[in-house]
A and B are shown apart, each in its own frame.
Chain A
Amino acid sequence: MSNKQTLVVIGNGMVGQNFLTSLMASEIKDNYEVVTFCEEALPAYDRVHLSEYFAGKSAEDLSLVEEGFFENNNITIHMGDKASIIDRSSKIVISEKGVEIAYDKLVLATGSSAFVPPIPGNDREGCIAYRTIDDLDEMISAAKTSKVGAVVGGGLLGLEAAKALQELDLKTHVVQFGPRLMGAQLDDGGADLLKKKIEDLGVSVLTNKNTIQIVDGETCKHKMIFADNSELETDLILYSAGIRPRDEIAEACGLEIADRGGIVINDQCLTSDGDIYAIGECASWNNQTFGLVAPGYAMARAVVNQLAGGSEEFTGADMSTKLKLNGVDVASVGDPHATTPGSLVYTYQNGVDGIYKRLVVSQDNKLLLGAVLVGDASGYPTLLQYYLNGIELPANPDALILPSRSDESVGLGPDALPASAQICSCFDVTKGDICTSIESGCTTLGALKDDTKAATGCGGCAALLKSVLDCELEKAGIEVNTDICEHFAYTRQDLYNLIMVEEIKTFAELLEKHGSGKGCEICKQTIGSILASYWNEYVLENSHVSVQDTNDTFLANMQKDGTYSVVPRMTGGEVTPEGLIAIGQIAKKYGLYTKVTGGQRVDLFGARVDQLPPIWQELIDAGFESGHAYGKSLRTVKSCVGSTWCRFGVDDSVGLAVELENRYKGLRAPHKIKFAVSGCTRECAEAQSKDIGIIAVEGGWNLYVCGNGGMKPRHGDLFATNLDKETLIKYIDRVLTFYVQTADRMQRTSVWMENMEGGLDYLKSVVIDDKLEICDKLETQMQRVVDTYQCEWKTTIADENKLKRFRTFVNSDKTDENIIFVEERGQIRPANVEERELALAEEA
């Protein structure tokens, strides 16, 4: 039996899980037997992004727990079991199911529950608190029989809930007790504009409405009756009118509870019992509870630090926040209401563009105390840094909120920030951390995100992170050489633009005009790929053949023994019995190894270079065409069987997959591209791990972009929802062409996205809002590629001159006698070195 102490964590919400993750990342991870209780059926998930559940995200997507986390770290988790009693005298926790655990240290992370106004009728059917995934499921089923929905509460979470109701196609009302939306974060001016913007989106907003009773409705299921005698008919009611700390278990065992609720903690996050900590929304610090996740994370960090013998304390939290509500940018910094004595206010109001900005500054006009931004929150990172770091304001602080009429930038240069400045509040990454990471060699945005985790939470600090990186690199005199190789002093994107603008059609021409020397495998392949992407000419044209990698030259994939694999296209993974038989017969005839791949087609291995043309002749005769497996190009569009056969299918995923594969086949790109189409949200085609992923939903198709399996898996980002097919194809045309034009060489879409300044929102603004006014051109370019498609094998087979290249030797009909196979599991495989030597010796 180990002599470890036992640490019990009650609650596996966002903060409880963050505590466990921090603990396991610390040096004291082996000091404790860790046991945790989770009353919900699911371990920790992202409550902040709960409304994305309606936009097609699954409970798994929202999960904050890495697969195998509890097992790998030897943490015992009691799922679906609520800790109900703490016996402090014997130091035991007892659960509802009767589990008893003796603890040495106890951490309470019980969170909070939605506040339900204590009015008659509040528990009628279809009146639901908006808080957990279970609540959401209840809400989805209630919505099926509803036409109208009302959210009680116009705060942050209430507006998120309203968005969810709209996603469910309900006529939506927001009922706010007070006079303003987001009363804690916004002043009257900001709240008025937000109200107008929310109403423009089709949500009705009722303010100053005190609900006193809910009764049977006349046109709907319920009628809400307000104190001013007005009424609202609705079928569904969501409560999101604030939260109540879950302090029952603490109160029952005699821990001190704050007057306004919450378990009282000190700066060490200790409760009135020296062995019991409380963190997150259940805790009350300085008579304050915190309904945001960042302060909870700060408490979790402090407790881990103290358990490790450190002295980190929780000293309050900044409640500044920035968010996008149904596309409306809203941000609030510090003290937006100007409650600080003597504070002064600047206001900028632009009724034409729908922008409101307010600055609250100190009496001497030198320090920023608070800010409100509605309609344009781009200034938030700068303002937040002024506020958090007490940086002296410029002589005219209003310049920070007035639109700049010249090129002069009034933003705060990253150089002005102290090392202690927090850049990423989600993961508490300071400028100092970032500088250290840059010094250690992380000189790209992607590497920096990977190393520090900065900008991987809400992503709000991505632009600031980039400017810190640029500034530090410049200061360090590190010139980031972006030349692709010694022959071209250009980036891939530069080369693409040169080819496009000067209409250059060959490598030789580009080399003569803009390069030096003879080129190398880097620039040749890159430029060969760009030329193929843009002009889409036959890659084995005399002017192109010398810049192709061996795979493109021989239109097959070279394997480790110098033989090639042959991959015929099977659009969407569909193949006829006749096709399968033909492939089987050809494989048998040429003695090839056959394997079904992850891309839902059959690869044939072990073809010598001289066998490629006859093999392809037979494949073409059997109706197949090139699968482009050899190119940095579109590979496959994987699909599940879809609504045609599947009992659960929502739409015809195979049909769409075939159509898309036929549209984009042959498209050359900076790297390979994979698609998948799933016929419902069960997602059997694993579309979210693809560059382009499509999932059928009731309202149309949901589009995910920039996912990746491979060495570093990345889930695709949800890009647009409920699309019809025409719009879907338009968006894919644009995303792919933009990728082909702007990515670095050998950059997958996932890394391209990670390194893109502005990230997903920027890509959406380019592709959906046409911010750069290039969408027409992107579509035209893609259409050119689609219209000029050819099966490269068909072209090659028909040209005797091209076939000369497939001879093993120019002066002999012999074949390479060093290629030797042995048999394994009934098929060939390349001989290993010993087997080969043995075989050659026997022959001699």
Chain B
Amino acid sequence: MSQWVDVCSVDDLVADSGVCALIEETQVAIFYMPQDDAVFAINNYDPFGKVHVLSRGLIGDIKGEPMVSSPLYKQHFNLKTGDCFEDDTVSVDAYGVRITGERVEVNLNGAA
């Protein structure tokens, strides 16, 4: 089942950084790389620090793969898949996200 939820406007995003949205009970970290026209969504929960903070991490890439670095203990998570680079037994959920016109939409059930 695919269900896109309208979340916010593109203006609410921060270029090359992250913001957080609340969809039902789920905190979703949304990252925006305008140069590549790319937008990513993963769960905001940091499984190492056990708190909801990933949207406040620095983003960039590791060998070309987009990533966010946890603001607490600096582990890296793949923005496309939610997989942790340092520990392959750990990952966070990744969600579908797209920009439609001036709006940002997230699909909790779908991949990007």
Interface residues of A (CB under 8 A from B): 486-487, 517-521, 523-525, 542, 545-551, 553-554, 558, 560-562, 609, 804-805, 807-812, 814, 816, 818-819, 833
Query: Which residues between 20 and 37 of chain B lie within 8 Å of chain A, taking CB atoms?
Result: 20-23, 27, 30, 33
10 A-B residue contacts at CB 8 Å?
A519-B61, A521-B58, A521-B74, A546-B15, A548-B58, A550-B53, A550-B56, A809-B27, A812-B21, A816-B27
- What are the residues of chain B within 8 A of A525 when measuring CB–CB? 58
Interface centre among A486, A520, A524, A809 (most CB of B within 10 A): A809
B67: interface (CB < 8 Å): yes
Q: Which of chain B's residues have a CB closer than 8 A to the CB of A549?
A: 58, 71
Q: Tell me the minimal C-beta distance from A485 to chain B in angstroms.
A: 9
Minimal beta-carbon separation of B6 from chain A (angstroms): 8
Given A524-B60, A816-B52, A550:B71 Cβ within 8 A: yes
**Beyond known contacts A525-B58, A550-B58, A558-B72: 15 more, CB 8 A cutoff:** A487-B60, A517-B64, A521-B58, A542-B15, A545-B17, A550-B71, A558-B53, A558-B56, A804-B12, A810-B7, A810-B8, A810-B13, A810-B20, A810-B30, A819-B51
Q: Are B71 and A558 in contact (CB under 8 A)?
A: yes
B17 touches A518 (CB 8 A): no
B47 to chain A, nearest CB (A): 13
Cα distance A9–B3 when bound, in Å?
84
Contact A524 B33 (CB under 8 A): no
Nearest B residue to A517, CB-CB: B61
Give chain A residues whose Cβ lies under 8 Å from the Cβ of B110: none
Give Cα A550 to B60, complex, Å.
14
Q: Roughly how many angstroms separate A431 CA and B104 CA in the complex, as a whole number?
A: 64
Q: Is the CB of A546 within 8 A of B22?
A: no
In the bound complex, CA of A807 to CA of B21 (Å) = 10
The answer to whether B82 has its CB under 8 Å from any CB of chain A is no
- Annotate B43-73 by CB proximity to A: 1 below 8 A, 0 otherwise: 0000001111100111111111011010110
A811-B8, A814-B22, A833-B50 in contact; A520/B17 too (CB < 8 A)? no
The CA of A550 and the CA of B57, in the complex, are separated in Å by 6
Q: Given A542-B15, A558-B53: A520 and B21 within 8 A (CB)? A: no
Which residue of chain B lies nearest to A551 when distances are taken between CB atoms in the complex? B71
CB of B111 within 8 A of chain A?
A: no
Question: Which B-chain residue is minimally distant from A547 (CB atoms)?
Answer: B58
Q: How far is the CA of A829 from the CA of B20 in the complex (A)?
A: 25
Q: Please give the distance in Å from A514's CB to the nearest CB on chain B.
A: 16
A809-B20, A810-B8 known; A524-B72 Cβ under 8 A: no
Interface positions of B (Cβ within 8 A of A) = 7-8, 12-17, 19-23, 27, 30, 33, 49-53, 56-64, 66-67, 69, 71-72, 74
Are the C-beta atoms of B52 and A812 separated by less than 8 Å?
Answer: no
- Which B residues lie within 8 Å of A808 (CB)? 20, 22
Q: Is the interface of A mostly helix, strand, loop or mixed?
A: loop
Are B60 and A521 closer than 8 Å at their CB atoms?
Answer: yes
A residues less than 8 Å from B20 (CB atoms): 808-810
Decide if A560 touches B72 in the complex (CB within 8 Å).
yes
Q: Which of A545, A560, A819 contacts B14 (CB 8 A)?
A: A545
A815 nearest in chain B by CB position: B22
CA separation between A805 and B12, bound complex, in Å?
Answer: 8
Inter-subunit contact A521/B57 (CB<8 Å)? yes
What are the 10 closest A-B residue pairs judged by CB atoms, nearest first? A546-B16, A550-B71, A520-B60, A521-B69, A562-B51, A521-B58, A519-B60, A518-B61, A809-B22, A810-B8
Closest CB in chain A relative to B60 CB, distance in Å: 4
Min CB distance, B31 to chain A, in Å? 10
What is the CA–CA distance of A548 and B58 in the complex, to the nearest angstrom? 7
Residues of B within 8 A of A814 (CB): 22
Do the beta carbons of A560 and B49 come within 8 Å of each other? yes
Q: Which residue from chain A places its CB closest to the CB of B32 in the assembled complex? A: A546
Task: Name which residue of chain B comes closest to A519, CB basis.
Answer: B60
Is A810 a contact partner of B71 (Cβ separation < 8 A)? no
Q: Are B60 and A518 in contact (CB under 8 A)?
A: yes
Cα–Cα distance between A524 and B7 once the two chains are bound (Å): 28
CA distance A804 to B52 in the complex (A): 19
Question: Which residues of the partner chain B approach A548 to less than 8 Å between Cβ atoms?
Answer: 58
Q: Within 8 Å CB of B58, what residues of A?
A: 520-521, 524-525, 546-550
Q: Are B67 and A520 in contact (CB under 8 A)?
A: yes
Task: Report A-chain residues with C-beta under 8 Å of the C-beta of B60.
Answer: 487, 517-521, 523-524
Q: Are B21 and A810 in contact (CB under 8 A)?
A: yes
- Give the one of B16, B33, B59, B72 with max A CB within 10 A: B16
A449 to chain B, nearest CB (A): 28
Closest to B20 in A: A809
Output the least CB separation between B24 and chain A (Å). Answer: 10
Candidate in A519, A521, A548, A810 with the most chain B CB atoms within 10 angstroms: A810
Q: Across the interface, which residues of B come within 8 angstroms of A810, CB to CB?
A: 7-8, 12-13, 19-21, 30
Contacts of B13 in A (CB 8 A): 810
Whole-angstrom CA separation of A551 from B71 in the bound complex: 8
Neighbouring A residues of B22 by C-beta, 8 Å: 808-809, 811-812, 814
How far, in whole Å, are A816 and B22 apart by their CA atoms in the complex? 9
What's the Cα separation between A546 and B15 when bound, in Å? 7
CA distance A796 to B107 in the complex (A): 33
Chain B residue nearest in CB terms to A805: B14
Query: For B16, what are the chain A residues with a Cβ–Cβ distance below 8 Å?
Result: 518, 546
